[in-house]
């Protein structure tokens, strides 16, 4: 099996090499996008065949699709793999359509015993869909699922390549998103806030609780994306961050499949919700049916006493 992988972050490329090793690929070719020679050094040491490097920072998804089509003519890959990012989904989907081959996004597992069998996230992230595909295929891997190989074996040739920029979509501006400065994925305790909160000011209550517990505040998608009450890097779920704290305390969160996909690996989940039928109670260890505005202050008060004993 031959693999052609691409990505614009070193970490993503490392994970993709890890994935290619699980495929037992005998050839791995890499297209590194908008990266520098330093960024691909680690990738080059993992026993890949060749790295094609686009140093240009200003490339569009069109440019990457065109380049991958050009490379696939010489490499003849069975699998063209990219990272599970928004650009990654678009690029692999378009590539699949152009080459008239299937695309499988969000791959979480692979089996090559009889046929190429891929497991992908489905049903709002609550399930996996097991699919047998006939190569060649384009796919994206779910990030954080495949470990980069540890063994270093030589250094691959790095060839700088340029893109033609024939695409019909032009980039006119790029702006960094605001960051919260706290990595909730690294926090052992996370207090999650949802639409049960009525205003941005009220999130103070969750922050106080997080402070007392020595944790951080995360949120459901609407709190960050729709209301902008917290930065987007605090958003937990399928399309946000996947976290694995020892305690996740969800306040005013209903427990939609896409949210819970981000806290599957938490050790203990506590839910506070006024609606006793909220789906979150089925997916929690401890459920408190209560108004968070009334319960949390009482809980916080007791907690502080216990912690200072």
Look up residue 234 and give its DSSP letter.
G
Judged by CB under 6 A, the residue of 82, 237, 245, 287 near ligand FAD is 237
Report d(CA 25, CA 38) in Å as an integer.
25
Site of tokens 């040739």: 157
Whole-Å CA distances, 225 to 72, 85, 137, 180, 193: 37, 17, 33, 14, 13
C-alpha 295/C-alpha 170 separation (Å) is 51
* 287: three-class secondary structure by DSSP: strand
Q: Which does 259 bind (CB under 5 to 8 A by kind): another protein, ligand FAD, none?
A: ligand FAD
Kindly state whether residue 129 participates in binding another protein, applying the rule CB under 8 A: yes
Does position 85 bind ligand FAD by CB under 6 A?
Answer: no
**What is the distance between the alpha carbons of residues 161 and 12, in angstroms, rounded to a whole number?**
20
Q: Is 284 in the site for ligand FAD (CB under 6 A)?
A: no
Q: Name the residue among 266, 305, 302, 269 with its Cα closest to residue 187.
A: 266
Please identify which residue in the block is written with the tokens 């052609």: 4
Look at the alpha carbons of 222, 223, 224, 226 in this order and tell me if their dihedral is positive or negative.
Answer: positive
Q: Which residue in the set 1, 155, 158, 225 belongs to the binding site for another protein (CB under 8 A)?
A: 225
Cα(81)–Cα(48) distance, integer angstroms: 14
Q: Which is nearer to ligand FAD, 30 or 253 (CB)?
A: 253
Q: Read off the tokens for 37.
A: 């020679």
Cα distance between residue 192 and residue 250, in whole Å: 5
90 phi, psi to nearest 5 deg: -65, -45
Per rule CB under 6 A, is residue 254 in the interface with ligand FAD?
yes
Instruction: Count the residues of the shown chain that bind another protein, applying the rule CB under 8 A.
Output: 89
Please name the residues in contact with 152: beta carbons below 8 A apart, sequence gap of 6 or more: 45, 46
Among 50, 98, 195, 244, binds ligand FAD (CB under 6 A): 195
Q: Is 104 in the site for another protein (CB under 8 A)?
A: yes
Among 194, 215, 218, 287, binds ligand FAD (CB under 6 A): 194
117 binds another protein (CB under 8 A): yes
- CB of 51: closest distance to ligand FAD in angstroms? 33
Residue from 278, 283, 284, 287 touching ligand FAD (CB under 6 A): that is: 278
Site string for another protein, 12-51 (x = CB under 8 A): ----------------------------------------
Among the listed residues 103, 187, 220, 273, the single contact to another protein using CB under 8 A: 103
Site mask, another protein, residues 130-169, x = CB under 8 A? xxxxx--x-----------------------------xxx
Task: Report how many residues bind ligand FAD under the rule CB under 6 A.
Answer: 27
Residue ranges in contact with ligand FAD by CB under 6 A: 194-196, 220-222, 235-240, 252-254, 256, 258-259, 262, 272-275, 278, 291-293
């Amino acid at each position: 099996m031959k693999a052609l992988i691409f990505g614009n972050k070193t970490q993503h490329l490392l994970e993709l090499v890890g994935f290619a090793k699980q495929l037992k690929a005998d050839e791995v070719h890499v297209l590194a996008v908008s990266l520098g020679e330093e960024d691909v050094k680690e990738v080059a040491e993992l026993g890949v065949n060749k790295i094609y490097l686009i140093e240009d920072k200003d490339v569009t998804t069109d440019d990457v699709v065109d380049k991958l089509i050009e490379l696939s003519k010489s490499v003849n890959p069975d699998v063209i793999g990219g990272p599970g990012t928004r650009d990654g989904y678009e690029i692999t989907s378009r590539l699949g359509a152009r080459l008239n081959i299937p695309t499988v996004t969000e791959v979480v597992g692979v089996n090559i015993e009889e046929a190429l069998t891929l497991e992908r996230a489905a049903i709002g992230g609550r399930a996996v869909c097991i699919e047998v595909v006939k190569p060649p295929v384009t796919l994206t891997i779910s990030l954080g699922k495949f470990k980069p190989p540890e063994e270093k074996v030589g250094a691959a040739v790095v060839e700088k390549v340029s893109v033609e920029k024939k695409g019909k979509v032009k980039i006119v501006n790029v702006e960094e998103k605001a960051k919260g400065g706290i990595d909730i994925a690294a926090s052992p305790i996370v207090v999650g806030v949802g639409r049960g909160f009525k205003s941005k000011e009220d999130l103070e209550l969750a922050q106080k609780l997080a402070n007392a517990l020595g944790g951080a505040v995360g949120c459901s998608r609407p709190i960050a994306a729709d209301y902008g009450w917290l930065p987007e890097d605090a958003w937990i779920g399928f399309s946000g961050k996947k976290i694995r704290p020892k305690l996740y305390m969800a306040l005013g969160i209903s427990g939609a499949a896409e949210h819970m996909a981000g806290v599957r690996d938490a050790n203990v989940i506590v839910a506070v919700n006024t609606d006793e039928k909220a789906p979150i109670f089925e997916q929690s260890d401890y459920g408190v049916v209560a108004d968070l505005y009334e319960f949390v202050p009482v809980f916080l008060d007791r907690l502080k006493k216990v912690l200072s004993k």
